[in-house]
Structure 1
Amino acid sequence: MHKEGFIDVTGGRVWYQIFDENGGGTPVIILHGGPGSSSYSLQGLKALAKERPVILYDQLGCGKSDRPTDTSLWSIERFVEELAQVRQALKLDEVHILGHSWGTTLAAAYCLTKPSGVKSVIFSSPCLSAPLWEKDQKRNLKKLPLDVQETIKHCEENGTTDSEEFEAAIDVFSKHFVNRMEKQPEWLEQRPSWYRNSEIYNIIWGPSEFTVLGNLKEFDCTSQLKEITCQTLYTCGRFDEATPETTQFYTSLTPHAKFHVFEKSAHMPYIEEPEEFIAVIGDFLQSIDSTILS
């Protein structure tokens, strides 16, 4: 079964999809990255629908959801409120949460409001501290050719992060730390114009990965990770922007959390190693559902 529609949330309507092959397991809701991206690149996660309903939605201002012009809507607090509204509208009394990248920031902030019925949370390539993320990207940058480093530094200092020169340098960074595939899947190459909303990214994060200037600048929930008491899985790619060292550090702060590294991936293991990703996530979710049933 595939169902889609719109849900009213604070500020507008968000577009959602439900994939369900009558697997009977607890539903999993997917939180996409960005901020300002969409669920487009995560469509492959519908493979989990053999065992449970899979819910994808585009956050407000993103993808196929409404694009209001009120910039005060772009805060983590409102996105947390939105997730609660989506859960309520779809009657997701019990749910697993899978967040990717910025989606993990959202998942953590949401879980720390102590909502009921969250059976587990999966932090895929997590960003749970903006200062730590910034530090890791500056470290990653030093692994690149000197001219690429200098271009990125120069463009940031001069406010020319919208230049072709900066784009070319970012492409090099991305081939190392975002998606290492030699040839991208055709559907990913052909992603539609509504795939991203850079305004949201700029307001929440800033003009680039390397220096956080947006309203998330001070975000750091590491001291609260001990409060996440549901079953937790952290994953990242071996060459991820979300470095294995930092991801393991988050794992160590979370009670009874599990940790997995996708050895051939950077930041998009669900595209770089899709079968492995589905197997690891599927096994984790099944282990929790079977424990609940028994």
Structure 2
Amino acid sequence: MSPDPSDKGTVPFREYRTWYRVTGDLKAGRPALVAVHGGPGSTHDYLLALAALADEGWPVVHYDQLGNGGSTHLPGEGADFWTVDLFLAELDNLLDRLGIADDYVLFGQSWGGPLAASHAMNNPAGLRGLVVANAPASMPLWLSEMAALRAELPPEVQASLLRHEAAGTTDTDEYYAAMRVFYDRHVCRIQPWPQDFLSSFMEIYNDPTVYYTMNGPNEFHVIGTLRDWSIIDDLHRIRTPTLLIGGRHDEATPTVMRPYADLVPGARWEIFEESSHLPHLEEPERFTEVMVDFLKSL
């Protein structure tokens, strides 16, 4: 159970609204940890466990990126609207509106990882630390590793996935059942799925506009606008103290995350041996230890 929020609401972003939630005191003297969720097109829910870090002395900010959760939904907008620059601008706006742009840490998970890293490339003066968790730096590299992980699935599961992807019937129960085999191995190994993760999972499919446009129907069939996106060439620009987090069974394999380790100066890399894509849920005690140790080092 995550601590109760100390504040929540929305802030204006252009003509839209961004929903946020604060746990702890933003004026307590320590940098706020801002949780940048995955997707694109997911919600903050599956990262709510991070709110417990407020009990350790760091205020925590969650928010729902535009198009999902408590933020403005825009199901009529097309691919030209949903861009990386849009979400970078939204993050900048949130930091300014909450008054924390001069003292904060970013925790970017999955898609939130390269988004937070892209923010850090400009070396904002108030950014004290960066955590990149379970995240790609290159979508082509991600797709290559997805193909390798898919090849390890049972033959009948692979056949079902390929048949529905070729037919364009990725919204059927049969495809979902085959998809779950992959998810249960490489996204969340806890059974049944924790409620926080299930909430975000269902939110994506309640309004899949952003996810389907930028990603595709699931984590391993990426056919959206991000399919060729890479930030590898610019990772060397990051000068912020950086922690990398990955799971041994993660869809974000060590190969996927290695560009961060190789190219971000001084990056520290922690692999969680019993986790897949969600170490904060799969190994919560060690996750908290690693995070607190990193935050204290800043």
**Selected match of 2:87 from 79, 83, 101:** 79
Which residue of structure 2 lines up, in the alignment, with residue 172 of structure 1? 181
Flag the 1:224–1:191 CA change in 2: closer, same or farther, 3 A: closer
Which secondary structure state, in structure 1, belongs to the residue aligned with residue 72 of structure 2? coil
Amino acid in the other structure paired with 2:49? G
Distance 1:78 1:189 in 2: 26
What are the Cα deviations for residues 87-144 of structure 1, in whole angstroms up to 9, with x where unaligned? 1101111110000001012112222234331111100001211101111111111111
Which secondary structure state, in structure 2, belongs to the residue aligned with residue 97 of structure 1? strand
Distance 1:216 1:192 in 2: 20
Distance 2:216 2:232 in 1: 21
Q: Which moved more, 1:177-186 or 1:272-281?
A: 177-186
**Identity within the alignment, %:** 34
Which secondary structure state, in structure 1, belongs to the residue aligned with residue 128 of structure 2? strand
Q: Unaligned stretches of 5+ in structure 2? A: none
Which secondary structure state, in structure 2, belongs to the residue aligned with residue 18 of structure 1? strand
Flag the 1:64–1:118 CA change in 2: closer, same or farther, 3 A: same
Alignment coverage as a number of residue pairs: 288
Report whether the alignment pairs 1:63 with 2:69: yes
Flag the 1:194–1:173 CA change in 2: closer, same or farther, 3 A: closer
Q: Unaligned stretches of 5+ in structure 1? A: 289-294
Which secondary structure state, in structure 1, belongs to the residue aligned with residue 212 of structure 2? helix
Which residue of structure 2 lines up, in the alignment, with residue 13 of structure 1? 17
Q: How does 1:26-37 map to 2 (within 5 A)?
A: 26-37=31-42
Which secondary structure state, in structure 2, belongs to the residue aligned with residue 208 of structure 1? coil
Which secondary structure state, in structure 2, belongs to the residue aligned with residue 17 of structure 1? strand
Which residue of structure 2 lines up, in the alignment, with residue 119 of structure 1? 128
Q: How does 1:113-262 map to 2 (within 5 A)?
A: 113-186=122-195, 188-189=197-198, 194=203, 197-262=207-272
What are the Cα deviations for residues 128-165 of structure 1, in whole angstroms up to 9, with x where unaligned? 11101111111111111011111112211111111111
Which secondary structure state, in structure 2, belongs to the residue aligned with residue 285 of structure 1? helix
Q: How does 1:81-100 map to 2 (within 5 A)?
A: 81-92=89-100, 93-100=102-109
Q: Are the counterparts in 2 of residues 28 and 97 from structure 1 also a CA contact under 8 Å?
A: yes
Which secondary structure state, in structure 2, belongs to the residue aligned with residue 15 of structure 1? strand
Distance 1:190 1:206 in 2: 19
Distance 1:283 1:35 in 2: 29
Distance 2:218 2:201 in 1: 22
Which secondary structure state, in structure 2, belongs to the residue aligned with residue 241 of structure 1? coil
Which secondary structure state, in structure 2, belongs to the residue aligned with residue 73 of structure 1? coil
Flag the 1:128–1:192 CA change in 2: closer, same or farther, 3 A: closer
Q: CA RMSD in A?
A: 1.9
Which secondary structure state, in structure 2, belongs to the residue aligned with residue 215 of structure 1? coil
State the TM-score, normalized to the length of structure 2.
Answer: 0.91
Deviation, structure 1 residue 225: 0.9
Which residue of structure 2 lines up, in the alignment, with residue 291 of structure 1? none
Q: Are the counterparts in 2 of residues 26 and 52 from structure 1 also a CA contact under 8 Å?
A: yes
Distance 2:81 2:260 in 1: 29
Q: Are the counterparts in 2 of residues 236 and 267 from structure 1 also a CA contact under 8 Å?
A: yes
Distance 2:194 2:287 in 1: 16
**Selected match of 2:44 from 39, 43, 58:** 39
Flag the 1:192–1:114 CA change in 2: closer, same or farther, 3 A: closer
Post-superposition, which runs of at least 4 consecutive aligned residues in structure 1 deviate over 4 A?
Answer: 186-193
Amino acid in the other structure paired with 2:66? L
State the TM-score, normalized to the length of structure 1.
Answer: 0.92
What are the Cα deviations for residues 241-278 of structure 1, in whole angstroms up to 9, with x where unaligned? 00023323421111000000111110011111112112
Deviation, structure 1 residue 23: 5.8
Deviation, structure 1 residue 44: 0.8
Distance 1:62 1:134 in 2: 25
Flag the 1:227–1:142 CA change in 2: closer, same or farther, 3 A: same
Distance 1:190 1:99 in 2: 19
